[in-house]
């Protein structure tokens, strides 16, 4: 018996689809899609060139087929153990033994075995327990998605509150009066002087955009008594460039 990845469309099943709960099949199919594949391999036997029949895992096969119908690209293949013809009878006996062990408390769903051991037919119409397990798994997956979404929203909120790196000349030409005042305070200006400089910047750029930081130094003036003096000194501009360039962003 060897492990293969088999195309679902190349598999047939002698057990009727009507034996299984449609809701349970849909539930497992959705989980198969969400988790990226079925984790319990089917047991198959070869019926031809790259064609197979289900020996065990009838319900899983139909769920995998349903998942393929819903998402053909993601669920085209299924994991399976393929029985070698030389040990076919021994594998059938093993499958039958596991079936019987699993049905000791449910005699009404015991699987009949053909006398030649060529096929095993499973009929189990009671999927209440399975559906409960499926719903529990889906609930856990939904909770994980909600937690991931909350974490994402928290990170976005933190990111929005972190000052972004900005080019100084772009700041002088584009920031609002309030934002520019805040930026000047981070560069070491007092509250009063930050407001004065920001107002002067806003007044000057309305007439003409600043072409360089040297242009900012030359044109931005603030009142000092009855005189107009430079609002930003050369040394202070160095502080501005250094301070604004060191602000990290995520």
The listed range with the strongest mean pLDDT (32-46, 150-164, 190-204) is 190-204
181 shares a domain with 111: no
210 shares a domain with 99: no
Q: What is the 3-state secondary structure (H, E, C) of 160-174?
A: HHCCCCCCHHHHHHH
Number of domain units in the chain: 2
**Mean local confidence (pLDDT), 65-74:** 88
Kindly report, residue by residue over 71-124, the tens digit of the pLDDT. 888 888 888 888 877 666 667 677 777 666 655 555 444 444 444 444 434 444
**Mean local confidence (pLDDT), 1-19:** 86
- Would you say residue 127 lies in a domain? yes
Token pair of 78 as six digits = 């299924």
Token pair of 45 as six digits = 């036997």
93 shares a domain with 201: no
Contact predicate 32/38, CB 8 Å: yes
Contact predicate 217/162, CB 8 Å: no
Domain range spanning residue 16?
Answer: 2-141
Kindly report, residue by residue over 130-171, the tens digit of the pLDDT. 667 667 777 777 787 788 888 878 777 766 655 566 788 998
125 shares a domain with 172: no
- Would you say residue 210 lies in a domain? yes
pLDDT of residue 144: 78
**Mean local confidence (pLDDT), 52-72:** 89
Token pair of 114 as six digits = 């053909």
Mean pLDDT is lowest, of 21-35, 37-51, 86-100, for: 86-100
In the β-sheet with 77-83, what is the strand arrangement from edge to edge? 2-7, 77-83, 42-48, 51-56, 11-12
- Would you say residue 39 lies in a domain? yes
Token pair of 191 as six digits = 């509250």
**Mean local confidence (pLDDT), 42-50:** 86
What's the CATH code of the domain at 99? 3.90.1530.10
> Of 89, 122, 141, which residue constitutes the final position of a domain?
141
pLDDT of residue 125: 44
pTM for the model: 0.40
195 shares a domain with 124: no
- Would you say residue 201 lies in a domain? yes
- Would you say residue 161 lies in a domain? no
What's the whole-number average pLDDT of the chain?
79
136 shares a domain with 183: no
pLDDT of residue 81: 85
Give the whole-angstrom CA distance, residue 186 versus residue 163.
11
135-161 burial: b if 16+ Cβ within 10 Å, else e = eebeeeeeeeeeeeeeeeeeeeeeeee
pLDDT of residue 164: 60
127 shares a domain with 232: no
pLDDT of residue 155: 74
- Would you say residue 151 lies in a domain? no
124 shares a domain with 20: yes
pLDDT of residue 126: 47
192 shares a domain with 109: no
133 shares a domain with 9: yes
């Amino acid at each position: 018996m060897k492990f293969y990845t088999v195309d679902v469309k190349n598999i047939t099943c002698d057990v009727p689809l009507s034996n299984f709960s449609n809701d349970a099949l849909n539930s497992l199919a959705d989980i198969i899609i969400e988790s990226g594949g079925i984790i319990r391999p089917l047991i198959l036997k070869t019926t031809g060139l790259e064609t197979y029949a289900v020996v065990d895992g009838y319900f899983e096969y139909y769920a995998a087929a349903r998942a393929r119908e819903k998402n053909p690209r993601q669920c085209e293949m299924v994991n399976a153990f393929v029985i070698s013809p030389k040990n076919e009878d021994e594998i059938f006996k093993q499958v039958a033994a596991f079936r019987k062990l699993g049905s000791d408390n449910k005699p009404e769903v015991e699987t009949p075995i053909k006398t030649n051991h060529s096929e095993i037919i499973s009929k189990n119409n009671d999927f209440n327990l399975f559906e409960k397990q499926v719903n529990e798994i889906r609930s856990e997956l939904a909770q994980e998605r909600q937690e991931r979404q909350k974490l994402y929203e928290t990170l976005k909120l933190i990111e929005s509150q972190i000052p972004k790196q900005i080019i100084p000349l772009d700041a002088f030409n584009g920031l609002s009066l309030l934002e520019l005042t805040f930026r000047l305070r981070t560069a070491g200006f007092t509250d009063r002087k930050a407001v004065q400089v920001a107002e002067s910047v806003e007044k000057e750029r309305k007439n003409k955009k600043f072409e360089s930081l040297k242009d900012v130094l030359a044109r931005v003036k603030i009142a000092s008594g009855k005189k107009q003096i430079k609002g930003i000194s050369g040394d202070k501009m160095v502080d501005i460039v250094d301070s604004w360039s060191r602000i990290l962003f995520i």
